[in-house]
Amino acid sequence: MPLTDAAIRAAKPGPSPFKISDGGGLHLLVQTGGTKLWRLAYRFAGKQKTLAMGVYPTIALAKAREGREKAKRLLADGIDPAAQKRRDKIAAKVSADATFRSIALEYIADRRHALTPLYADQILRRLEADIFPALGNRPIADIDAPELLETLRKVEKRGALEQAKRLRQTCGQIFRYAVVTSRAKHDPSAALKGALKPKGRQRHHKPMPRHDLPGFLRTIDDYYGEPRTGLALRLIVLTMVRTTELRAGRWEEFENLDGDEPLWRIPAERMKARFEHLVPLSRQAVAALNELRAMPGAKAEGFLFPSPSKQGCMSNNCMLYALYRLGYHGRATIHGFRGVASTLLNEAGFDDDWIEKQLAHDERDETRAAYNAAEYLAGRRSMLQWWADWLEQIKVTGRIVVLAREVAA
């Protein structure tokens, strides 16, 4: 006869444990101390087995019956309910241990071979600043779209719209990694497409007006701040490299600094396009490097611009803040110097391919990229020396005259 709640409550403990049945193998085991335990008796693979289903009244009668029906469905599919319960318990523990932080760190470590060290560290810093405080200790499988949106809204509120967008993309990559590694069921970031504020009209890196160049060049020669920062500004203008490529530069990347053809060989893992970049050095660039080498604390190996920071080198905004201190806030950006150089070198008649290669613009064809690196090196060396000499000239004269010239290919 099926059990009732009244019958269960009325069951009193005896001198030894006893069972009261609900049917279908489901029964209540009444212990001598009064504890009442749900059990399900069943047969699997020819053996009699018992499945523990919890304690009454924590597990009510109706819930116990649901468990019995679930067990029957598993048995019909050839699955042992006790074995499935153990698997579910392990999965729940794994899910609880699989926090967003632990999965994010695992994902970044797994991707480091495909990322530059600086970019990998940048991703981690963004997560540590804006995502981990709210979601880091949460089981990744429990995080839903509204919770992720609430976290990203805090980034939006401080005006960092592009940062919020990039964080959504990064979180999406982490969630998808969790899905394919069986730590999550879905990617909640996918539901946020279109939910974040648009960043509005794209603002390009502002180039310095050419009439400001002579005064700027004189200013950085007399830079009153940290001497290494002033030299970094000088080298950015002379080499046309990106900020990240310069600030993370290492002495072992330089060749023949005291010879006729000095060269900076930037490894592929530090380049945006993932190809090694060769930078021929002008006499003026070598002179700036020699000033760096002569500074206290300079080493034959290690960073050109060492710093006690976590990265070990100059921060990403160091040169930009130097520009601000020199009075160029809103008037120019560090990256904008590349645009200035490109425009002026084109006006001077230099080969487009030389200029594009010197700017390390993305070359999709790996074979062609390697060929061009060697093919254009001599031309780029003469171009950069012309550029350095021209900068010296306008710094002294204060007059900007770009004479169109023919350059042999």
Cα-only R_g, the chain: 34
Active-site residue identified among 197, 361, 368, 405: 361
Between CA 6 and CA 325 the distance in angstroms is 82
- CA dihedral of residues 216, 376, 250, 110 (deg, nearest 10): 120
Q: 274 to each of 114, 155, 322, 370, how far by Cα in Å?
A: 9, 30, 29, 12
User: Distance (Å, rounded) from C-alpha 267 to C-alpha 371?
Assistant: 16
User: Among the options 247, 338, 357, 380, which is catalytic?
Assistant: 338
Measure the CA–CA gap between 72 and 66, rounded to whole angstroms: 10
Catalytic choice (63, 72, 335, 395): 335
Q: How far apart are CA 19 and CA 40, in angstroms?
A: 11
E runs forming strands in 277-368: 277-280
- Known active-site residue 357: no
87 catalytic? Reply is no
How would you classify residue 296: left for phi > 0, otherwise alpha for psi between -120 and 50, otherwise beta? beta
* 103 Cβ contact list (under 8 Å, min separation 6): 140, 174, 177, 178, 181, 183, 184
Contact 387, 206 (CB under 8 A): no
End-to-end CA distance of the chain: 99
**Residue 242 a catalytic site member:** yes
Query: Going by C-beta distance under 8 Å and a sequence separation of 6 or more, which residues neighbour residue 372?
Result: 353, 357, 363
Residue 338: active-site member: yes
Tell me if 235 sits within 8 A of 246, measured CB to CB: yes
Strand partners, 30: 18, 36
Is 405 annotated in the active site?
no
Residue 77 sits at φ, ψ, to 5 deg, of -90, 5
Is 381 one of the catalytic residues?
no
- Which residue in the list 89, 325, 329, 371 is annotated as catalytic? 371
The three state secondary structure string of 30-42 is ECCCCCEEEEEEE
Backbone phi, psi, residue 404, to 5° = -60, 135
Of the residues 111, 272, 274, 331, only one is catalytic, namely 272
Q: For residue 409, give the amino acid letter.
A: A
Tokens of 313: 């080198």
- Write down the catalytic residue from 242, 247, 270, 277: 242
Nearest to 15 by CA among 36, 35, 33, 39: 33
Catalytic residues: 242, 272, 335, 338, 361, 371
